[in-house]
């Protein structure tokens, strides 16, 4: 745990919007519609931080889940295709509608977080309203076609960091960082 003493956005009302992402050292998060690495232990972390929560996901990332909803979570898929229907998932046609549906679901579930789980397009449209970022930094430089932006230290304060050596089913070591939005003055 490493706090900087800066004021963080604890005053914003729950449910908080939390972006959950894994980023390589070169900013890459995806390649050809898939994750560009194999990190089994990090998948368990992803499951733990999103479990029991509404998850907002872009249609392309949803397809990378083998078109099966993530279990134990309300899957809210964002698409511009008004005809798309996905058994076991809620389909919305705007990011605003997805976040509104996620807020309602979080209140019904009695949880105080909405997880936004990508991909790049959806992160880009939700970063401005996020309260917290849970970022896995993967110690790799893979080729990729989708990236996550640099985290601006003027806007975000790192409040937690844990380091993880590569396990037997992990391609690389990684660290997990939690950032809270700094209160604007
Ligand atoms: N490393 C990580 O943590 C992580 C996490 C998630 C994803 N990824 C990777 O990221 C890549 C996918 O990211 P991506 O940016 O290509 O796609 P994406 O963000 O998963 O999905 C984009 C799709 O979302 C829909 N969409 C986006 N904005 C919308 C809006 N304002 N209103 C309505 N619908 C909207 C559109 O769907 P339609 O085309 O159906 O209209 C669009 O094509 C994959 O490689 C995936 O593996 C990595």
Domain ranges of the chain: 16-181
Which homologous superfamily does the CATH classification assign to the domain defined by 16-181?
A: Dihydrofolate Reductase, subunit A (3.40.430.10)
Tokens at 172, concatenated:
């690389």
Mean pLDDT value of segment 172-181: 98
Nearest to 49 by CA among 180, 153, 155, 176: 176
Give the confidence band of 7 by pLDDT, cuts at 50, 70, 90.
low
Look up the pTM and report it.
0.94
Mutation test of ligand 1: which of 36, 56, 60 has the most ligand atoms closer than 8 Å to its C-beta? 60
The 8 Å CB, 24+ separation contacts for 164-170 are: 164/41, 164/42, 167/40, 167/41, 169/38, 169/39, 169/40, 169/41, 170/38, 170/39, 170/40, 170/41, 170/42
Mean pLDDT value of segment 133-137: 98
Q: Which residue's CA is the nearest one to ligand 1's atom 25?
A: 79
**Per-chain mean pLDDT for the chain:** 93
Measured CA to CA, the distance from residue 28 to residue 55 in angstroms comes to 21
CA of 177 from ligand 1 middle (Å) equals 23
pLDDT at 37 over 80: yes
Pocket of ligand 1 (CB under 6 A): 21-22, 29-30, 33-35, 58-61, 64, 78-81, 93-95, 117-122, 125, 146
Mutation test of ligand 1: which of 39, 65, 78, 145 has the most ligand atoms closer than 8 Å to its C-beta? 78
Measured CA to CA, the distance from residue 35 to residue 31 in angstroms comes to 6
Mean pLDDT value of segment 107-112: 96
Name which residue leads in pLDDT, 185 or 142.
142
Measured CA to CA, the distance from residue 78 to residue 95 in angstroms comes to 6
Tokens at 113, concatenated:
């977080």
Q: Is 59 exposed, middle or buried (0-12, 13-18, 19+ CB in 10 A)?
A: middle
């Amino acid at each position: 745990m490493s706090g900087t003493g800066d004021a963080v956005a604890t005053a914003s009302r729950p449910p908080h919007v939390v972006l959950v992402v894994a980023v390589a050292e070169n900013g890459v998060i995806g390649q050809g519609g898939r994750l560009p690495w194999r990190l089994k232990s990090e998948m368990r972390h992803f499951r733990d931080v999103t479990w029991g929560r509404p998850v907002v996901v872009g249609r392309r990332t949803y397809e990378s889940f083998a078109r099966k909803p993530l279990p134990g979570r309300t899957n809210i898929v964002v698409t511009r295709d008004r005809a798309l229907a996905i058994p076991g998932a809620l389909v919305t046609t705007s990011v605003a509608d997805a976040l509104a549906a996620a807020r309602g679901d979080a209140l019904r579930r009695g949880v105080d977080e909405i997880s936004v789980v990508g991909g790049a397009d959806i992160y880009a449209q939700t970063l401005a309203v996020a309260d917290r970022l849970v970022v896995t930094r993967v110690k790799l430089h893979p080729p990729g076609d989708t990236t996550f932006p640099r985290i601006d230290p003027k806007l975000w304060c790192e409040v937690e960091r844990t380091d993880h050596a590569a396990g037997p089913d992990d391609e690389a070591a990684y660290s997990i960082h939690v950032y809270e939005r700094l209160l604007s003055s």
